[in-house]
Amino acid sequence: MISKGNGKNNEARPGCHAIVLCGGAGRRMGARKELLEFNGEPLLLRMCNSLSEIAERITVVADRERGYAFLPGGVRAIADDVAAFGPIAGICAGMAVSELPLQLVVACDYPLAGLYVWRALADTLARHPEADAVLPEAGGKLHPLCAIYRRRTLSAWQDALESGNRRVMAATQQMRIVKWLPEDGAAGQLMNMNTPDDYRLAKERLSL
């Protein structure tokens, strides 16, 4: 269990495990995205603090063993089992270390996503017990790396890994998917950050 500084966790979802994917080399950014500064702290720390408001446990998955000494107590950091394979390897590694039924998967290039997004994904999945996953849709694009999955989808991710299929959306085609559409004005929280210009824009939006 992640320790809360204020002793409150009113948004926590029982059985929720958060997986933060930090496997990318950040070539287009020119730096590792999870270490970029937002309001005086690394993005990864900011994300883990936000996720701790809803998840029982948090696992950070990187492309290799990394210290991340700044992470709060209780946050686990592991390496991909299959190097250089991409997000699917990270998802498999993250799901493998937790039996919790809800797996909230977030890539570290979603700097503006927060409790509104996490809560909406979890609430939508709760309303659809038949669904395997809830994926946000914004700007006509689905976001499988900022989504919530049931742990039973691990077999689909493992099938993709074993077959050598790196396409995340191809793996989700085996699942029963429900889409979640953010309310007006909230779609910007699903901004994907890949370049220095994206980073500057994210910081500007965060300061508004």
pLDDT higher for 208 or 57? 57
Q: Which residue has the higher pLDDT, 165 or 133?
A: 133
Taking only the tens place, the pLDDT of each residue in 112-143 is 999 999 999 999 999 999 999 999 999 889 99
CATH architecture entry for 16-207: Alpha-Beta Complex (3.90)
pLDDT beyond 50 at 6:
no
Dist. CA 8–CA 13, nearest whole Å? 13
Q: How confident is the model at residue 196 (pLDDT cuts 50, 70, 90)?
A: very high
State what percent of residues in the chain have pLDDT above 90: 75
pLDDT in tens, 173-187: 999 999 999 987 889
In degrees rounded to 5, what are phi and psi of residue 203? -65, -40
Question: How confident is the model over 76-83, as a mean pLDDT?
Answer: 86
What pLDDT score was predicted for residue 25? 64
- pLDDT tens for residues 153-164? 999 999 999 999
| pTM greater than 0.95 (yes/no) | no
- Supply the angle between the helices 43-51 and 115-126 in degrees, to the nearest 10: 40
DSSP letter string over the chain?
-PPPTTS--TT--TTEEEEEEE----TTTTS-GGG-EETTEEHHHHHHHHHTTT-SEEEEEESS----TTSPTTEEEEE-SSTT--HHHHHHHHHHT---SEEEEEETT-TT--HHHHHHHHHHHHT-TT-SEEEEEETTEE-TTEEEEEGGGHHHHHHHHHHT---HHHHHTTS-EEEE-PPTTTGGGG----SHHHHHHHHHHHH-
Domain residue spans in the chain? 16-207
The answer on pLDDT for 84 being more than 90 is: no
Residue 7 pLDDT class (50, 70, 90 cuts):
very low
User: Which pLDDT tens digit goes with each residue over 20-56?
Assistant: 999 776 678 988 899 999 999 999 999 999 999 999 9
